[in-house]
A and B are shown apart, each in its own frame.
Chain A
Amino acid sequence: MHSFSYRANALLTFSLTILALMCAMASLTDNFNSPSPTATVQILNVNRFQKRSNGDDEVAITLNISADLQSLFTWNTKQVFVFLAAEYTTPKNTLNQVSLWDRIIPTKEEAKFSVKPKNKYKFIDQGSNLRGRDFNMTLHWHVMPKTGKMFADKLVLPGFRLPESYSYR
């Protein structure tokens, strides 16, 4: 009854149960963290603004993004995925979210940065609605834990506007 393998089995089961409990508790401690990230975004230049052959508008821009996301990191954070999306409404769509740029932040030290990228993903509308369009830039972040629950939130930066006319090449 109380053999070597019986004791080994009991120990394995019990230790794994406790391990699972510890991970769950570690994930719970993330709730105590109330982050206060800050960010500013500018459009430095509209490089190209045109209508594609299928009738959809496309914009190419250069951005200036500086952000401090260090407060998002806790001891249970594996990485933070941050991305910038243009969000706007058109007569046809209640919501358009177009990612322009993203980055994976693996450590807290790299969570404070300032970059001037071109849009990484194409900024294409479903239709021809971008001329003079007001839109919000939203900086989203997804916190990947080492174990447990994932967190996500965003910062809305309003007041952006695209040019009234297409650019000429």
Chain B
Amino acid sequence: MDWQGQKVAEQLMQIMLVVFAIAAFVTGYIAGSFELMMYVYAGGVVLTILTTIPNWPFFNRHPLKWLDPSEVEKHPKPQVTTSVSKKKPAKK
């Protein structure tokens, strides 16, 4: 998942859950059934899990463009190597 994808996934998760919660509450209240509210919300949670948790290709449309290693050799600065090596584990 790339940076853009992470942002989208997080926002999508929150929006979907809130929308489903509102929908569940309204249907449950109108139908007068607490159980119906729970089922609608449970369905919404499952759908949200399926949409936002797996690493869909949809979330990887903006891959990072890493500098070519040859670039580093052209500008041999120690700071550059450390900052790159620190960033890498943060990617995951």
Interface residues on A, range: 20 to 34
| Contact A2 B29, CB 8 Å, known A10-B13, A18-B17, A146-B34 | no
**Contact (Cβ within 8 A) B52 A75:** no
| Contact A21 B14, CB 8 Å, known A7-B9, A26-B34 | no
Pick the residue among B1, B6, B45, B90 that contacts A15 (CB under 8 A).
B45
Output the least CB separation between B7 and chain A (Å). 9
Pick the residue among A1, A4, A26 that contacts B55 (CB under 8 A).
A4
Judge whether A97 is part of the interface by a CB distance below 8 angstroms: no
Output the least CB separation between A39 and chain B (Å). 24
| Contact A4 B53, CB 8 Å, known A14-B14, A75-B34, A76-B34 | yes
Q: Residue-by-residue, is A128-169 near B (CB-CB < 8 Å gives 1, otherwise 0)?
A: 000000000000000000100000000000000000000000
**Contact (Cβ within 8 A) B33 A19:** no
**Contact (Cβ within 8 A) B21 A1:** no
Mark out the residues of chain B between 26 and 68 whose CB falls within 8 Å of any chain A CB in the assembled complex: 28-29, 31-34, 37, 41, 45, 48-49, 52-53, 55
Judge whether B92 is part of the interface by a CB distance below 8 angstroms: yes
**Contact (Cβ within 8 A) B13 A22:** no
Pick the residue among B1, B37, B90 that contacts A22 (CB under 8 A).
B37
Judge whether B72 is part of the interface by a CB distance below 8 angstroms: no
| Contact A1 B34, CB 8 Å, known A7-B53, A15-B17, A18-B21 | no
Judge whether A107 is part of the interface by a CB distance below 8 angstroms: no
Other than A7-B53, A29-B29, give 16 A-B pairs with Cβ distance below 8 A.
Answer: A1-B90, A1-B91, A1-B92, A4-B53, A4-B55, A11-B17, A14-B17, A15-B17, A18-B18, A19-B21, A22-B25, A22-B41, A25-B25, A26-B25, A26-B28, A75-B33
8 intermolecular pairs with C-beta atoms under 8 Å apart: A4-B53, A11-B17, A11-B53, A14-B17, A22-B24, A25-B25, A29-B29, A76-B34
